[in-house]
Structure 1
């Protein structure tokens, strides 16, 4: 919700990215119990003066001693003399001509990296262009949010229905290589540029999954990722489920439209699903939180580096008349956590699922005249009760884990697994078959006659050639059926419905 630079190059917590045209758009008509006010949200913007001064300094004449900046007749910023001198030395003495723009970008990027903050980043003109574009439109890529952590690129969360989700990427997967190229030590911005690409093109990620031996190669076909962020459906007994996949420009409007539609279908209670939601625009988290938190109650607090704390309160004119339960997991981050913390502590809404990601800082972004951009952390955010959840996450009221098969590694359809094979891939395939009801009797990675028998049974049940080997279409069908089972058999959602029914009595 950082969180970090992202594969989708999403503006995570960048309030200043909300387009001004949104202020003039017609508001969605809402029933009395689902009303929102337009928020005049005060953006905490910290201007990094040293960056603008540094860029100006790079334009000084070459071959001369660097000059300190003079303001009002007084020498200032003398700490930059060493930087100017280093530039002059390279310009005069390096054995090849300098790429001046590259050197300047590198210097700025070095400043940001020295902060040791995975949520601060420098983006060149091209990366910044994609950053702005993807806040409120579709984009092409794999649909996963990433962050840089301890020199590694980590998957925060794949987006719902994205190629990344279909390929089996999970939160906390470490991305080691992209198309065979190591990305160790790269910034998230650099990794994004390698992972993104045109629809229909292929990218192969080599990942390391916690708790799984060895590495896994995951081929993914890039696609267009639409920014449709709200998905609603009726379940049973007047209970509706609404999933918010990310907080984009129009998410609050999408949510209002969805809730209005569900009310017409007889909604009496709501499960709000924030699982695998990596965050997004803070302004949207504020608007949506206010829909479920009573007017005047605290949504969250912001603490600056001097310890000054500002409270942000709900501006809701009326509370929904239906009870609410919220689902969270380890992929719920940033703006998702703001919403979860707000409803939990200020509206007594129960949380179900797993501990959230733990991203408790706020970022803003500032453009340079050439179109490049710097994103940096401006403050901490705290829950209504003053808790800082950074690196700790929010604990659910009802902890519910998912079945082990949900975290099984990706199985490459190009591999051929057959009688006599012995490998980790065979072990994965056996575990998948067992989860689907075709238990081979062993999951130790050895492909025996019993495994052949169960594979043939699976193939017959799915109208596939009964070869007894796992490859190609058989592998694809196993993956497809497992994904269907994961969606259908959802113990976290079942628990949320159980809790909600008690709330509805």
Structure 2
């Protein structure tokens, strides 16, 4: 069983975002619900009896002993914050955590959907900083950071065993500064180095476009407070253009606000059918039936292992209550609900606590299991290839993982090395020379830093070209098939 630290953060230069969240805000009447006894599931959450007298005395005594006897001057606020962090750590829940004034303010910013930094969602597992997913289009995404990567160090400083708040602080930095990350990735024997220039991450959470045959595509990168309204705007825009079918893309979407995903799901789930169930520790369930209606056109949803929390709620609702086809990979598997308490402290800090678990309409708890797609579709191998170590020079007769990655890249961009097993033979050398000539580089047949950078830049173009996106293309194809079937039945 993995021992997990009690925090998940979005790595940014001016904020710490509680990642993978399904957030419920206590003031939203839509989420209050009611049980048979007439009390909402969340009605008593904010009640706080505080410490018993002997408990308060014990903590106070510890603070007093430290202050009087520790050999250095101490910061009382830091000690108190540390005590609260210790309580949260003892829960063993990576989604419940305490935030001081600064990270709390930055967390509230993140819910609004704008921030700056490298743009990667991370958690702490067994003392390691693990990437959950990079935000699409962010510096981390463009550099090649992938879900499940373990960040070993930043700018030469090891993050292993470091408190997650401290680790995130090391990754943060001003716009334009460089974060040199050493990353451990499954399948790579040696650590991979990424040089990422921090930048503003202007998170437009919803984007859309129309294919030539009236198949609409809507991408949702995160469920922030304004995402519901933006989704409705983009959906209406597509429908006004005569859309015949829709592909919803929540790949690498780490989640967000519960009320927002319910609002979006209501656009597709027939009135009265369940969207999600929320169950508290007393096993009371707050059921959320749709107040909306179904659509006359087919819908598919794209997901992958970076689709978590609110993304999984949407996937489950559309699959079980709206008949949508899920395409891609098994989702992340985060089935709990958090709320944040900020007013109770009175100093700008907040406590984010897991208050319940959520279930799909059929009552399935997907935690640590995820949701299986109806159609499992993998991306091409080159989508997840690791960057080449720029400090190494690759040449004939070498045999290592960097050579293998270079061979995969060469094959992907149209230059045939003849093998992809990591051995640098004459055919690989010939492919390198051909690539170098095509980029007006000196055709040495040796992969130096300049050649590696040019090769990676060409690969990024390949990955960003929608025609190479297997999952997207399958989603569009499924919608087209359903449109054709519907037309033939008329």
TM-score by length of 1: 0.86
> After alignment, is 401-410 or 333-342 more displaced?
401-410
Paired residues of 2:7 and 2:164 also in contact (CA < 8 A): no
Structure 1 partner of 2:436: 459
Question: Among residues 441, 446, 461, which one is paired with 2:418 in the alignment?
Answer: 441
Question: Among residues 324, 337, 343, which one is paired with 2:318 in the alignment?
Answer: 343
Distance 2:26 2:349 in 1: 14
Question: Among residues 224, 249, 263, which one is paired with 2:239 in the alignment?
Answer: 263
Question: Among residues 319, 329, 344, which one is paired with 1:354 in the alignment?
Answer: 329
Structure 1 partner of 2:46: 47
Question: Among residues 1, 10, 17, which one is paired with 2:17 in the alignment?
Answer: 10
Deviation track 1:148-168 (CA, whole Å, cap 9, x = no partner) reads 223222111111111111111
Which structure 2 residue ranges, 5 or more long, are not aligned? Answer: 1-5, 34-41, 486-490
Change (3 A) 1:313 1:352: same
Question: Among residues 235, 242, 249, which one is paired with 1:273 in the alignment?
Answer: 249
Structure 2 partner of 1:193: 169
Paired residues of 1:305 and 1:379 also in contact (CA < 8 A): yes
Question: Among residues 293, 303, 306, which one is paired with 2:282 in the alignment?
Answer: 306
Shift of residue 267, structure 1, vs aligned partner: 1.5
Shift of residue 421, structure 1, vs aligned partner: 4.5
Distance 1:187 1:314 in 2: 42
Shift of residue 341, structure 1, vs aligned partner: 0.6
Distance 1:17 1:188 in 2: 27
Structure 1 partner of 2:460: 483
Paired residues of 1:456 and 1:466 also in contact (CA < 8 A): yes
> After alignment, is 267-276 or 428-437 more displaced?
428-437
Shift of residue 289, structure 1, vs aligned partner: 0.9
Paired residues of 1:330 and 1:354 also in contact (CA < 8 A): yes
Paired residues of 2:398 and 2:424 also in contact (CA < 8 A): yes
Distance 1:190 1:302 in 2: 33
Structure 2 partner of 1:223: 199
> After alignment, is 196-205 or 232-241 more displaced?
232-241
Distance 1:464 1:322 in 2: 51
Distance 1:3 1:137 in 2: 19
Question: Among residues 307, 322, 343, which one is paired with 1:332 in the alignment?
Answer: 307
Change (3 A) 1:483 1:313: same
SS in 2 for 1:143: strand
Structure 2 partner of 1:170: 146
Distance 2:58 2:161 in 1: 26
Paired residues of 1:3 and 1:359 also in contact (CA < 8 A): no
Distance 2:47 2:398 in 1: 59
Structure 1 partner of 2:36: none
Shift of residue 413, structure 1, vs aligned partner: 4.1
Distance 1:284 1:186 in 2: 34
Shift of residue 350, structure 1, vs aligned partner: 1.1
Structure 2 partner of 1:34: none
Paired residues of 2:317 and 2:361 also in contact (CA < 8 A): yes
- Are residues 1:400 and 2:377 paired? yes
Paired residues of 1:204 and 1:218 also in contact (CA < 8 A): yes
> After alignment, is 147-156 or 266-275 more displaced?
147-156
Paired residues of 1:239 and 1:270 also in contact (CA < 8 A): yes
Distance 1:376 1:148 in 2: 17
Paired residues of 1:136 and 1:227 also in contact (CA < 8 A): no
Distance 1:502 1:450 in 2: 42
Shift of residue 280, structure 1, vs aligned partner: 1.3
Distance 2:63 2:387 in 1: 48
Distance 1:415 1:140 in 2: 31
Distance 1:221 1:389 in 2: 36
Deviation track 1:99-156 (CA, whole Å, cap 9, x = no partner) reads 1111111111000001000001111111112111222142111111111223222111
> After alignment, is 322-331 or 258-267 more displaced?
258-267
SS in 2 for 1:5: strand
Deviation track 1:8-29 (CA, whole Å, cap 9, x = no partner) reads 53353233399x9xxxxxxxxx
Deviation track 1:67-92 (CA, whole Å, cap 9, x = no partner) reads xxxxxxxxx44234322222221122
Structure 2 partner of 1:428: 405
Structure 1 partner of 2:388: 411
Question: Among residues 493, 498, 501, which one is paired with 2:477 in the alignment?
Answer: 498
Structure 2 partner of 1:295: 271
Distance 2:375 2:420 in 1: 31
How many matched pairs?
461
Shift of residue 310, structure 1, vs aligned partner: 0.9
TM-score by length of 2: 0.88
Question: Among residues 228, 235, 248, which one is paired with 2:224 in the alignment?
Answer: 248
Structure 2 partner of 1:135: 111
Shift of residue 187, structure 1, vs aligned partner: 4.1
Structure 1 partner of 2:63: 87
Q: CA RMSD in A?
A: 2.3
